[in-house]
Structure 1
Amino acid sequence: MSDAAGAEGDRRLRVDLDVDPTGDRGCPIVSEADEAAEVAVNAVGDECVVDVTTPEGEVRRGTGEVDADCLCHAFGRLGCVPHFRRVEDGTILVTAYVDDRAAVRGLVEELRGVVDRVRLVRLAVVEGPDATEQVTFDLSALTPKQRRGLELAVVRGYFDDDRDVRLSDLADELGISKSALSQRLRTAQAKLVTDVFDGAERPEPS
């Protein structure tokens, strides 16, 4: 049984996070390359070995020391298994599966203690043996510009695991700078995080 969904009737949440590791810790996931299309992590004992595959197909190996403040251990303390998807500009996209929105808040708070920045990219309900997903974001709180930027990113597949579109491509399409779009997406994601955390205080509909 996968950690995405178990027996029929099971219901979990998939949470996708952008994580910026603390620069002075030398996380091997980002120390070998600022860009990675695939990431494989093997943490055994006191050593972490990471293989990252660059967009050009080159495989690089990095090693690091495992301690209580490691990114992987932050997930483990909450019983989550991190799935590292890719790296772009030193930011890691990581997926985990949790039981409810309160667990999302706990995970983000735990990560904030060991990394520089955490941003929510996607929250989706995963139900049933086929692990079907339904995205749970409410975009009504966003400004038109934020919504347009976020919707374009979704439509173009920017948040997909196997994406082939870059932030600069989206910025060109919108006629704005890459930094302006990055800020717009970050602000939109922050508003979505607030909505998720507020929802953790309310019971789920039956």
Structure 2
Amino acid sequence: MSGTVDDDAPRLRVDLDIDTPEAWDCPMVTETESATDVAINAVGDECAVDLQPADGDEVIRARGEVTDDCLCHVFGKFGCVPHVQRVEEGTLAVTTYVESREVVRELVDALQGSLGRVRLVRLAVVDGPDATEQVTFDLSALTPKQREGLELAVVRGYFDDDVELGELAAELDISKSALSQRLRTAQAKLVTDVFDAVGA
């Protein structure tokens, strides 16, 4: 990854849902089924986690070991800090900030390889660390098939001309025309949402 970061360069806010493996030994999923707030402090090979259970019970404080498949370790490889917004039955809602779409692709690939299924929920352009969002793409309005196609297209670099439509369609086991229709519909929904938000 690049070493120097320009603080004035545009950033992307990335919201992800991560389905963790059943055998994943992390206090975030072993200590409670659902939490509304999670604070992680990883130092070296150890981490401390504070969890606020969704049912309002007292904060749970737990310790864990940092391994190759730990959330903090994977995000750290890309110079990103994971902000866990919510935990629900093994699924983590995580926000982070990255430098480019390429980092999003690499991060999602790494998370899928280490943890499990990763869903891109939202991308938002920000000016810098203290800036407000300029444009937000809310992927929750899409159907599961539209979202799956769009996520794969972003992750594999379709919009950067790094991969052909036929390759993506083969990976999803559908025809090129079916995938093209899904992507067009998804893009139309997102663009409509953006212009509605700007006009509001």
TM-score in terms of structure 2 length? 0.68
Distance in 1, Cα, partners of 2:71 & 2:34:
18
**For residues 125-176 of structure 1, what are the alpha-carbon distances to aligned partners after superposition, in whole Å with 9 as ceiling and x for unaligned?**
112575121345397xxxxxxxxxx33xxxxxxxxxxxxxxxxxxxxxxxxx
Match of 1:53 in 2: 52
| Aligned residue number for residue 34 of structure 1 | 33
Q: CA RMSD in A?
A: 2.4
Q: Deviations over 1:92-129 (max 9, x none)?
A: 01111111111110000111111121110101111257
Q: What residue in structure 1 maps to residue 92 of structure 2?
A: 92
- Which amino acid letter does the alignment assign opposite residue 133 of structure 1? E
| 1:20 aligned residue | 19
Q: Secondary structure at the match of 2:137?
A: coil
Structure 2 stretches lacking a partner, 5+ long: 1-5, 163-200
The answer on whether the counterparts of 1:120 and 1:192 sit within 8 Å (CA) in structure 2 is no
Q: SS in structure 2 opposite 1:25?
A: coil
Report the CA distance shift for 1:6/1:34 in structure 2 as closer, same or farther (over 3 A): same
Asked whether the equivalents of residues 36 and 52 of structure 1 are also in contact (C-alpha less than 8 Å), the reply is yes
Rg larger in 1 or in 2?
A: 2
Alignment size in residue pairs:
154
How many Å separate the matches in 2 of 1:33 and 1:26? 12
Q: Distance in 2 between matches of 1:13 and 1:84?
A: 17
- CA distance 1:129–1:92, change in 2 (3 Å): closer
Specify the alignment match of 1:71 in structure 2: 71
1:56-101 per-position Cα deviation (integer Å, ceiling 9, x unaligned): 3221122222122211100001111111111122210111111111
Unmatched segments (≥5 aa) in structure 1: 140-149, 152-183
Q: Do the aligned partners of residues 128 and 109 (structure 1) sit closer, same or farther apart at CA in structure 2, a change above 3 Å counting?
A: closer
In structure 2, the partner of 1:120 is 120
Runs of 4 or more consecutive aligned structure 1 residues displaced over 6 Å after TM superposition? none
Correspondence for 2:193: none
